[in-house]
């Protein structure tokens, strides 16, 4: 029997980035939200470890590694070695989350793989152990397990759920070509040599979230990687201006980009903004609500 796990894309409502540390990581104060764009991962019992990928129309299959570089296989191996058992199973990943888009698609798949393997192998791994393994694999992966809306500190891996009174409407516009997260952080280092050691606090964003008011949330959205991402891809700035002219309350680069997400005031507002962006020639325009659950088994 197959085990199927759904994992969501994330956006950063606040991404405060501090000066790079000696270990090469940047200290973060971030607020993540899981939104309704997701990958589904299914896992069947097998004698060896295999992976097949299927992608939505807006994703180039060549962008998704299908060998040992795929983070799904790395996650399976890490959990297997933690449990002292062989890593076995036949994975199939159905991808809808833009690749290298700043929406943590690989992290979502890794979180889904941890949940699926734990279930198929009957391990009953504790939540704390799963979170620690997730953090070892990547900074965004603990959030992909937790989902909802959560604050992340450290390098983003220390997550705590936060009060979120809203049901928020988002329009996401992925780019045809991804941006490398490390490249955007390197560009941040060049542009912001004076960045503070302590990243910009998420407090104002948290207050806006708790209010449940879209206009207030729109005003509070903040991303320190937006400037370097737009410097690398100037068209992202034009896209933000366009979406705001088409009715969005505010547009912001998602994480390290190049996906741009627009906060809208309602379902109708999101539909109108999406139609305006599509009419202006953007082929791929996705509409989603947030927050949604983290990696979870489908019945
Ligand atoms: P983040 O927001 O966490 O920085 P991202 O959304 O910008 O990540 P991903 O989609 O996670 O980026 O992909 C980054 C790179 O990871 C890709 O270019 C790809 O080569 C590699 N990769 C490995 N496994 C996967 C996977 N399962 N899905 C997508 N990319 C993967």
Instruction: Please indicate, yes or no, whether residues 31 and 70 belong to a single structural domain of this protein.
Output: yes
Q: What is the CATH number of the domain that holds 60?
A: 3.30.230.10
Question: How many independent structural domains does the chain possess?
Answer: 2
pLDDT digit string, tens, across residues 175-234 = 989 899 999 999 999 999 999 999 999 999 999 999 999 999 999 999 999 999 999 999
Give me the catalytic one of 10, 95, 164, 224. Answer: 10
Q: Is the CB of 99 under 6 A from ligand 1?
A: yes
Q: Is the peptide bond before 291 cis (omega within 30 degrees of 0)?
A: yes
Instruction: Please indicate, yes or no, whether residues 78 and 40 belong to a single structural domain of this protein.
Output: yes
Map residue 116 onto helix, strand or coil: helix
Instruction: Please indicate, yes or no, whether residues 152 and 183 belong to a single structural domain of this protein.
Output: no
Instruction: Please indicate, yes or no, whether residues 274 and 255 belong to a single structural domain of this protein.
Output: yes
**Helix H or strand E encompassing 77:** helix 71-83
Sheet strands side by side (includes 286-290): 250-253, 260-264, 168-173, 286-290
pLDDT digit string, tens, across residues 18-27 = 999 999 999 9
**Complex ipTM:** 0.95
Q: What is the CATH number of the domain that holds 232?
A: 3.30.70.890
pTM of the predicted structure, to 2 decimals: 0.96
Contact between 219 and 211 (Cβ < 8 Å): no
Compute the distance from residue 207 Cα to the ligand 1 centre, in Å.
31
Instruction: Please indicate, yes or no, whether residues 18 and 140 belong to a single structural domain of this protein.
Output: yes
Instruction: Please indicate, yes or no, whether residues 100 and 195 belong to a single structural domain of this protein.
Output: no
Residue among 255, 261, 251 nearest 286 (CA): 261
Nearest-atom index, ligand 1, CA of 98: 10
Map residue 9 onto helix, strand or coil: strand
The mean pLDDT value for 235-239 works out to: 97
Residue 40 sits in which domain range?
A: 3-162+292-297
Cβ–Cβ contacts within 10 Å for residue 24, how many? 9
* 95 tagged catalytic: no
Nearest-atom index, ligand 1, CA of 72: 27
- CA angle (189 as vertex; 108, 23 as ends), nearest 5: 65
């Amino acid at each position: 029997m197959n085990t199927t796990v759904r994992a969501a894309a994330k956006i950063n409502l606040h991404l405060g980035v501090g000066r790079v540390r000696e270990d090469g990581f940047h200290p973060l104060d971030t607020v993540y939200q899981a939104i309704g764009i997701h990958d589904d991962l299914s896992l069947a019992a097998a004698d060896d470890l295999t992976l097949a990928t299927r992608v939505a129309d807006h994703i180039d299959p060549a962008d998704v590694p299908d060998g040992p570089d795929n983070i799904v296989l790395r996650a399976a191996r890490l959990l297997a070695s933690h449990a002292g058992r062989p890593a076995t199973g036949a994975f199939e990943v159905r991808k809808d989350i833009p690749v290298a888009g700043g929406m943590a698609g690989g992290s979502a798949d890794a979180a889904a793989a941890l949940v699926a393997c734990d279930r198929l192998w009957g391990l009953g791994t504790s939540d704390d152990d799963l979170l620690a393994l997730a953090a070892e694999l990547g900074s965004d992966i603990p959030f992909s397990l937790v989902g909802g809306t959560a604050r992340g500190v450290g390098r983003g891996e220390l997550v705590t759920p936060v009060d979120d009174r809203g049901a928020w409407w988002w329009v996401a516009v992925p780019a045809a070509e991804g941006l490398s997260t490390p490249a955007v952080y390197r560009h941040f280092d060049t542009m912001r040599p004076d960045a503070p050691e302590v990243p910009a606090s998420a407090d104002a964003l948290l207050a806006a979230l708790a209010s449940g008011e879209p206009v207030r949330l729109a005003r509070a959205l903040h991303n320190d990687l937006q400037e370097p991402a737009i410097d690398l891809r100037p068209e992202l700035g034009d896209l933000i201006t366009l979406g705001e002219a088409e009715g969005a309350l505010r547009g912001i680069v998602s994480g390290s980009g190049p996906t741009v997400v627009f906060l809208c005031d309602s379902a109708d507002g999101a539909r109108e903004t999406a139609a305006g962006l599509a009419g202006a020639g953007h082929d791929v325009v996705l509409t989603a609500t947030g927050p949604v659950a983290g990696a979870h088994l489908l019945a």
